[in-house]
Amino acid sequence: MEKSLAEMQREVDLYISQFKEGYFSPLAMLARMSEEVGELAREVNHEFGEKPKKASEDANSIELELGDILFITICFANSLGIDLAEAHDKVMHKFNTRDANRWTPKNTD
């Protein structure tokens, strides 16, 4: 089932709102996000780099690490009242205007 960003933001908010602690502070979430990006880097290095996984290391995946990053991104946005769909639209506008001629287009013939 495909979900919209708004649906994901509501789902995460419902999950977090069941706990007294609520969302972490912005600095704590940034630290958590940094940890998750590090874990993604480790998985990418295992999959595509020169560092194979040790036999004693837990099985993990790039997909799960990206999911963790998405979750903390949604938490971060929710805690600050940011609509991620609106943020996405603003970023895409920036790429489509500022960076419109930055990359070589594929041939359309």
Q: How far is CA 64 from CA 83, 104, 109, in A?
A: 23, 32, 38
Q: How large is the average pLDDT for residues 34-43?
A: 95
Provide the CA 33 distance to its chain's centre, in angstroms: 8
Predicted confidence (pLDDT) at residue 67 exceeds the cutoff of 80: yes
Domains of the chain: 5-97 (1.10.287.1080)
The whole-number average pLDDT for the span 71-89 is 98
The pTM of the full predicted model, rounded to 2 decimals, is 0.86
pLDDT single digits (tens) 41-59: 999 998 898 877 777 777 7
Q: Which residue type occupies 81?
A: G
Angle at CA of residue 80, ends 94 and 63, nearest 5°: 70
Burial of 60 (0-12, 13-18, 19+ CB in 10 A): middle
